[in-house]
């Protein structure tokens, strides 16, 4: 890890970085692959090296949107017993829980596995679409705030872990055939892991406000 250099002399706003924890001001510097800039006052992470550029991030968002669509429209698993089979999608499971009286669980499932991830993908795609040309999207500041707020509530990786445990247990009693949905959720989990390694705050540096 590399400690950030303290501010010396007059700098433009784009050349500066402020610690969000202790408000110390530093001069931004170019980071090599794998470098992390730390605050020398409180030790908080200021920024990380972005190993994927804006175009690459936009490609990841588009891929995530396609995989997300497949994951929500395709069956997660197919259960077979005595020659009969039944398949369900994520929304089929949500509706079943709602009808069985587990409205709270159904609501949380829908929010954490559909609405929050969808919002994250849509907002990230919105800001990256403009960032590709070095511009800030309309409502850029609110969009960046929303990305930070929504991120902890997207729990697809938790869903994947729970689904794998359930499939293993159900295999004792049923013929379990994984559907396209569960594979899509697996790929989506990997994509989210990649997104987690990226620092969206870098978009403040690589974009500029459109002149009035």
Contacts (Cβ under 8 Å, ≥6 apart) of 85: 78, 79, 175, 177
Q: What predicted TM-score, i.e. pTM, was given to this entire model?
A: 0.72
Q: What is d(CA 22, CA 11) in angstroms, rounded to the nearest whole number? A: 20
Residues 6+ apart with CB under 8 A from 62: 125
The residue ranking higher by pLDDT, 56 or 161, is 56
- The pLDDT > 70 percentage for the chain reads 80
Q: Find, among 109, 120, 12, 127, the residue nearest to 65 by Cα.
A: 120
DSSP 13: G
Number of neighbours of residue 22 by Cβ within 10 angstroms: 11
Distance CA 63, CA 56 (A): 11
Rounded to whole angstroms, what are the CA distances from 142 to 79, 126, 136? 44, 12, 11
- Of 19-23, 107-111, 199-203, give the range with the top mean pLDDT: 107-111
Which conformational region is residue 199 in: left (phi greater than 0), alpha (psi within -120 to 50 degrees), or beta? beta
| pLDDT band for position 19 (cuts 50, 70, 90) | confident
Mean pLDDT of 28-57: 76
Measured distance CA(49)–CA(208) in Å, rounded: 20
Kindly state the tokens that stand for 5: 């250099």
| Sequence ranges of the domains in the chain | 2-48, 54-206
Three-state secondary structure call for residue 95: helix
Check pLDDT > 90 for residue 212: no
Would you state the pLDDT for residue 9?
46
Burial 188-205 (b: 16+ CB within 10 A, else e): bbebbeebeebebbbbbe
How far, CA to CA in Å, does 138 sit from each of 135, 143, 144? 9, 9, 11
């Amino acid at each position: 890890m590399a400690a950030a250099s303290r501010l010396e002399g007059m700098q433009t706003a784009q050349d500066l970085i402020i610690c969000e924890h202790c408000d110390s001001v530093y001069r931004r510097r170019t980071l090599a692959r794998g470098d992390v800039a730390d605050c020398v006052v409180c030790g908080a992470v200021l920024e990380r090296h972005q190993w994927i550029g804006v175009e690459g991030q936009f490609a990841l968002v588009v891929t995530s949107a396609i995989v997300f669509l497949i994951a929500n429209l395709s069956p997660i698993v197919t259960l077979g017993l005595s020659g009969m089979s039944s398949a369900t999608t994520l929304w089929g499971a949500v509706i079943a829980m709602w009808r069985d009286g587990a409205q709270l669980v159904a609501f949380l499932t829908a929010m954490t596995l559909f609405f929050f991830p969808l919002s994250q993908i849509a907002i990230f795609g919105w800001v990256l679409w403009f960032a590709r040309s070095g511009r800030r999207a309309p409502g850029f500041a609110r969009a960046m705030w929303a990305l930070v707020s929504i991120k902890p509530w997207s729990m697809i990786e938790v869903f994947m872990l729970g689904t794998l445990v359930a499939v293993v247990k159900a295999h004792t009693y049923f013929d379990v055939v994984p559907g396209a949905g569960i594979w899509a959720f697996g790929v989506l989990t990997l994509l989210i892991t990649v997104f987690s390694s990226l620092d969206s705050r870098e978009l403040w540096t690589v974009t500029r406000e459109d002149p009035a």
